[in-house]
Structure 1
Amino acid sequence: MTIRTTPPGALVYVDDYEIGTTPVSANFTYYGPRKIRLVKDGYETRTILQPVPPPWYQVPPLDFITENLVPGEIRDHRVFTYPLTPRVLVPTEQIISRGEALRREVQGTAAAVPPPARTAPPQVPSAAPSPVGQPPPAGPQPPGSPSPGSVPLHSLPPR
């Protein structure tokens, strides 16, 4: 895969891995969408989701024939060219005036919205009390032993 830009010299990231500056070539193994990011000083950063569809000879069941029965290696080379747009510099005064307008707008709407009502914190339920007349079991019980006050479902063997 070769990636070119106009003007050349942009830093290229493919699937968030830096591969070099344009024009640049890189090998690829798998087809499908690729996230290509182009970064160059003085130009807008571009992020493109570039589809890379498989060629006809990589579509099942033809891929079995081309990979196993055709002698030699078939190379698929793709070239992508992207134009870069110069970065527009916004005057400082315009940025400040937009920020002040936003501040006035937010302060105007903040007075119109009532503060949230105060509510009591939720009550945490306490643990269920043990049945009247029965003390809680003391300590951990070994597996298979009946707990105090329980009735067995079947008769127990003599001890």
Structure 2
Amino acid sequence: MAVVTPRGAYVDVEDEDESGVTLSAGLGHVRAERGNIGVEVKGPNYGTRVVSSAEGDEFFAKAELASYSVTAGKVKTEAKLPSASAAAMYSEKGAEIFARAELASVSASAGPLKAKLGLSADTGVGVRDGSVEAKVLGTGITLGRTIGFSVGGSGFEFNLW
């Protein structure tokens, strides 16, 4: 059985156990699934999330022109048009502060490996899930549980466990 979820213009507000609120708005969003295969297309959208709880605090804001993804089991491909986001997070899992701006990208992941070809100006530092990450204008390195590097927004990641 296939599941198709189309949405025209929408606004969603979610209250997550009274610890935070997620707000998202957009002009188009379609997701289709059948078994372990899924296709998702998003039009212009905006989202923000604010959470404060005993586990930590988080702020996230994002705007994107469009994104497309196809998933088949553990293999995922994705394409993005211009997007920008900002995030600050502190929790038991780590801490990070990032500003991300991307002109365009395509990426693919299969199991522990992820590769990306794009142009971005991501800048920030973070420690989370057993890894340390630092980037300046899309160029940086990730060391720890995840090993990776990027130059100008293109690069790869490998999750060790």
- Tell whether the structures are fold-level matches, with TM greater than 0.5: no
Range of TM-score over shorter length: under 0.3
Say which structure, 1 or 2, has more relative contact order (CA 8 Å, 6+ apart): 1
TM-score normalised according to structure 2 size: 0.19
Q: Which one has a larger percent helix, Structure 1 or Structure 2?
A: 1
TM-score normalised according to structure 1 size: 0.19
Q: Which one has a larger percent strand, Structure 1 or Structure 2?
A: 2
